[in-house]
């Protein structure tokens, strides 16, 4: 079925190419109020200038383009003559109407001769790349106390500029691809030539070229379309708005995907442990960075299993409760009419409602709602005997633990996984938790990112790649890139001479 659909699209485009003409293009464009077409000479309208006012910088047209054409009008016999007289670098002379239509909708100015037999058309790039985009590019969703605060914006030209400023090397390569039958979205593949494995570059290039989509709104759509497995709650590619994270991924041998209109950059191939790494780990000492990274990993495990273990113990495994905890548990649940699974799901859904409402409301109102709503609902639930004090503490800690994940998409996956564990614990107790965990582990072992195993360095087991996984080792030990990425240049840098040896030279 898909083959017939693609074939139909191609034949339709072919028919469009044959029937398209410059006249029909301008007739269609003139239906829009922002389309402008005029001649710079009132008495002689041989030269016609056409453009969309909403896409171009009209000051350049009025103060640079038109005066140059009027000054050298006697020398202009055909559109190619204008190319040699105007001070613009991106000027193209073409006779293809389809190319003219593409350029017109991308912010180019079209110049043609009225009644010309040569049908040569001049396209000039005068688009305003920053028009309508925000200038504030702080990393709001991936904030760090230490380190740079500069992030990406919705303009792909600005994002390329930011990456080029950070990595001043000719090895940094940007490849442009057009995607979207209606949007003609500009997609850029970024990588370091001579470092990134060509297999990853070719895989990304092929998957992007195979996309048949109408409008690409955000890089998150590309992430789902080119994913190795879309039937998973886990993000296969790492999506970030931080420049330093993208730079680190590229110097490690990964590929970055930029999408025009999106402030998030997609990098891959990614592993599960990449989503628990914060750029702040590298700005602190390796001891502190490793400690906080381990805290995040244990927080995720606590967030997934804590509520489910509570439900399993109170439903099936009373014998594991210490004697000192029996009295507080009994008094806490003495007046609760619901089984543990009902009160657990009630509190979990309440937390999710508060979290979603706080995220959708304005910042100040959302913060107030989260704090006040959590206190009021929690206290009222305990007083109304709808839930126990102990479970309220566990669910609250579980929600806080899920926030320690640096990447928002991985945090969402962890939030979702708590519910299957709770239901399994209520049905089969501890054995149900083990079954769900085994299914989850087998699912993770089968996942791949650009053909690379998702659980590296745990599976396949890579001892040398543990230097920057669960812990962040000293810079003296992380001189080589991760081997599972198969970089063409294994070494990142050469560590300096030992400081003790330098001090000895001064003695």
**Does 205 reside within a domain?**
yes
- For residues 213 and 105, membership in a common domain is answered with no
Lowest mean pLDDT among 1-15, 44-58, 126-140: 1-15
Query: What number is the average pLDDT over the span 68-93?
Result: 77
CB proximity list for 406: less than 8 A, separation 6 or greater: 142, 275, 276, 277, 278, 296
| Closest residue by Cα to residue 348 from 258, 426, 419 | 419
pLDDT digits over 248-279, tens only?
A: 999 999 999 999 888 999 998 999 999 999 98
**Does 95 reside within a domain?**
yes
Number of other residues whose CB lies within 10 A of the CB of residue 392:
20
Last-in-domain residue among 453, 474, 494: 453
pLDDT at 122 over 70: yes
- For residues 241 and 304, membership in a common domain is answered with no
pLDDT at 135 over 80: no
Q: Are 257 and 450 in contact (CB under 8 A)?
A: no
pLDDT digits over 202-229, tens only?
A: 999 999 988 888 888 888 888 888 998 8
Q: Are 266 and 238 in contact (CB under 8 A)?
A: yes
**Does 285 reside within a domain?**
no
**Does 134 reside within a domain?**
no
**Does 348 reside within a domain?**
yes
- For residues 165 and 257, membership in a common domain is answered with yes
Among left, alpha and beta (phi > 0; psi -120 to 50; other), residue 99 is alpha
- For residues 226 and 321, membership in a common domain is answered with no
Beta strands in 6-74 (DSSP E): 35-38, 47-52
Number of other residues whose CB lies within 10 A of the CB of residue 390:
16
- For residues 327 and 375, membership in a common domain is answered with yes
* Predicted local confidence at residue 1, as pLDDT: 34
Last-in-domain residue among 417, 433, 453: 453
In terms of residue numbers, what domain contains 174? 156-270
pLDDT digits over 352-366, tens only?
A: 888 887 777 766 666
- For residues 105 and 222, membership in a common domain is answered with no
**Does 23 reside within a domain?**
yes
* Predicted local confidence at residue 16, as pLDDT: 43
* Predicted local confidence at residue 15, as pLDDT: 37
> Residue 151 in 3-state DSSP?
strand
- For residues 297 and 445, membership in a common domain is answered with yes
| Structure tokens given for 230 | 């879309």
- For residues 160 and 117, membership in a common domain is answered with no
- For residues 311 and 239, membership in a common domain is answered with no
Determine the longest span between alpha carbons in the chain, in angstroms.
Answer: 102
* Predicted local confidence at residue 493, as pLDDT: 81
Q: Can you tell me the distance from the alpha carbon of 405 to that of 239, in angstroms, rounded to the nearest whole number?
A: 13
CB proximity list for 225: less than 8 A, separation 6 or greater: 207, 211, 213
pLDDT at 305 over 60: yes
Last-in-domain residue among 208, 239, 270: 270
pLDDT digits over 488-498, tens only?
A: 998 888 776 65
**Does 495 reside within a domain?**
no
Tally of domains within the chain: 3
> Residue 367 in 3-state DSSP?
helix
**Does 118 reside within a domain?**
yes
The secondary structure of 296-344 as a DSSP string is HHHHHHHHHHHHHHHHHHHHT-GGGS-HHHHHHHHHHSTT--S-HHHHH
* Predicted local confidence at residue 73, as pLDDT: 75
Query: What number is the average pLDDT over the span 425-445?
Result: 95
- For residues 31 and 120, membership in a common domain is answered with yes
- For residues 419 and 376, membership in a common domain is answered with yes
The answer to pTM > 0.75 is: yes
- For residues 32 and 114, membership in a common domain is answered with yes
* Highest mean pLDDT: which range of 19-33, 153-167, 286-300: 286-300
Q: Are 289 and 281 in contact (CB under 8 A)?
A: yes
């Amino acid at each position: 079925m898909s083959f017939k659909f693609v074939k139909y699209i191609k034949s339709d485009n072919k028919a469009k190419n044959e029937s398209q003409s410059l006249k029909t293009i301008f007739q269609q464009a003139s239906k829009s109020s922002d389309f402008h077409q005029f001649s710079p000479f009132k008495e002689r309208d041989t030269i016609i200038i056409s453009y969309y006012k909403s896409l171009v910088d009209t000051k350049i047209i009025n103060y640079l383009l038109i005066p140059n054409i009027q000054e050298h009008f006697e020398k202009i016999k055909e559109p190619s003559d204008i190319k040699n007289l105007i001070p613009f670098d991106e000027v193209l002379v073409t006779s293809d109407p389809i190319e003219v239509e593409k350029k017109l909708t991308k912010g180019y100015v079209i110049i043609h001769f009225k009644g010309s037999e040569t049908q040569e058309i001049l396209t000039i790039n005068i688009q305003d790349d920053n028009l309508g985009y925000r200038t504030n590019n702080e990393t709001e969703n991936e904030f760090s106390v230490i380190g740079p605060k500069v992030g990406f914006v919705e303009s792909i030209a600005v994002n390329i500029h930011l990456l080029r400023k950070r990595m001043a090397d000719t090895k940094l390569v940007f490849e442009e691809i057009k995607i979207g039958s209606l949007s003609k979205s500009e997609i850029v593949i970024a990588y370091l030539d001579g470092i990134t494995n060509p297999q990853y570059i070719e895989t990304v290039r092929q998957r992007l070229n195979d996309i048949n989509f109408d409008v690409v709104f955000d890089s998150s759509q590309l992430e789902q379309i080119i994913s190795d497995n879309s039937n998973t709650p886990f993000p296969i590619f790492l999506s970030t708005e931080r420049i330093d994270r993208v730079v680190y991924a590229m110097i490690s041998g990964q590929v970055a995907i930029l999408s025009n209109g999106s402030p998030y950059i997609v990098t891959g191939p990614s592993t599960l442990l990449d989503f628990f790494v914060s750029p702040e780990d590298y700005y602190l000492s390796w001891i502190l960075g490793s400690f906080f990274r381990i805290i995040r990993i244990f927080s995720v495990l606590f967030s997934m299993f804590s509520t489910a273990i509570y439900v399993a113990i109170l439903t099936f495994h009373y014998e594991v409760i210490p004697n000192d905890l029996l009295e507080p548990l009994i008094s806490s649940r003495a007046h609760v009419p619901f089984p543990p699974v009902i009160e657990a799901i009630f509190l979990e859904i309440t937390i999710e409602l508060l979290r979603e409402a706080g995220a959708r409301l304005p910042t100040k109102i959302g913060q107030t709602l989260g704090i006040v709503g959590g206190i009021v609902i929690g206290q009222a639930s305990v007083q109304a005997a709808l839930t126990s004090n102990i479970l309220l503490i566990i669910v609250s800690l579980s929600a806080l633990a899920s926030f320690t994940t640096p990447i928002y998409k991985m945090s969402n996956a962890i939030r979702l996984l708590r519910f299957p564990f709770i239901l399994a614990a209520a049905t089969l107790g501890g054995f149900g938790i083990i079954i769900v965990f085994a299914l989850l582990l087998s699912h993770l072992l089968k996942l791949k990112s650009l053909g690379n195993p998702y659980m590296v360095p745990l599976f396949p087991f890579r001892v040398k790649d543990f230097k920057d996984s669960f812990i962040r080792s000293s810079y003296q030990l992380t001189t080589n890139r991760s081997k599972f990425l198969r970089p063409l240049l294994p070494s990142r840098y050469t560590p300096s001479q030992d400081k003790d040896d330098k001090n000895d030279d001064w003695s």
